[in-house]
Amino acid sequence: MENIKNIQSAKIKNGKASLFAGRFISYFFLVLLVLLCILPFYILIINCTRSNAEIQKGFSFVFGNQFITNWKSLRSDDQLPIIKAIRNSLFISGATAIITTYFSSMTAHAINTYRFKFRKAAYIFILIIMMIPPQVSSSGFIRYVFKFNLENTYYPLILPAIASPVVFFFIKQYMESVLPHDLIEAARIDGASEFRTFHQMVLPIIMPAIAVQLIFAFVSSWNNFYMPSLIIETATKRTIPLLINELRSGSPETFDLGKVYMLMTFAIVPILAVYLVLSRFIIRGVTLGSVKG
């Protein structure tokens, strides 16, 4: 009996040791990945507090004392309307994110809930469109933009977001897993209209997917450089990526890395704010969507 107890005790100790080793390795790599993700942001914040000469000397973990100087240099440059650019980017990105998630959710609800004749054909067609890179159709799109005199406006940057196959696919897949058809039928029996059912019952349940896609759509539109560079001409209508590109392509005599890092630091602040605001909706939506009939 003592031998059996000793063997069992040894097995328990070995199991605990292997469990500890597995957890240690897992946590080690997780901490390493977190540090690798944080490091670029840390470098960005550090460099926005240093002068151009200090940045060119190499990386430093110590904060500099040129934050105010870099900000004044950025604000005093009449060729870089930073406040207007942030306002323009916020308007375009916010409108794009709202439009793409709302209409994609509505389309996903129609494909997922209604049973009509060409339902599968419509779904396959949307998936085919999703596999076509946007750059392939950009030349024809730009041609129509100039044909209808929409250049130097925000309409070509916002309205195409109504049709977003990627957002539609993500929301539809999520909707299939959390939205019971019995709930829709019960709402219809109670006399609720289709729009009321969608807004008051479907949207709260799929809120996690909507919040995630809002973040992705906002970030994608905020970082969009290709389309605005082809459409926007007026300096007061430029977005943040256009300003960063103009600042980086300046002459060597006036090139200031401190100003560049300062502009990039302020460019990521709205993205972090949007994530912090929407993250609580993701958690709340998970709680609402966890009840499935």
pLDDT band at 68 (very low <50, low <70, confident <90, very high): confident
Q: How confident is the prediction for the chain on average, in pLDDT?
A: 82
pLDDT tens digits, one per residue of 206-230: 888 888 889 889 989 998 888 898 8
pLDDT band at 99 (very low <50, low <70, confident <90, very high): very high
DSSP-derived secondary structure for 13-42: HHHHHHHHHHHHHHHHHHHHHHHHHHHHHH
Contact between residue 245 and residue 293 where contact means Cβ atoms under 8 Å apart:
no
Domain ranges of the chain: 2-47, 71-289
Contact between residue 256 and residue 145 where contact means Cβ atoms under 8 Å apart:
no
What is this structure's pTM? 0.79
Residue 32 has what pLDDT? Answer: 92
pLDDT band at 288 (very low <50, low <70, confident <90, very high): very low
pLDDT band at 154 (very low <50, low <70, confident <90, very high): very high
Residue 291 has what pLDDT? Answer: 44
End-to-end CA distance of the chain: 53
124 versus 77: which is more confidently predicted? Answer: 124
As a CATH number, domain 71-289 is: 1.10.3720.10
Residue 83 has what pLDDT? Answer: 84
Burial of 168 (0-12, 13-18, 19+ CB in 10 A): buried
pLDDT tens digits, one per residue of 237-259: 889 888 888 776 655 555 678 88
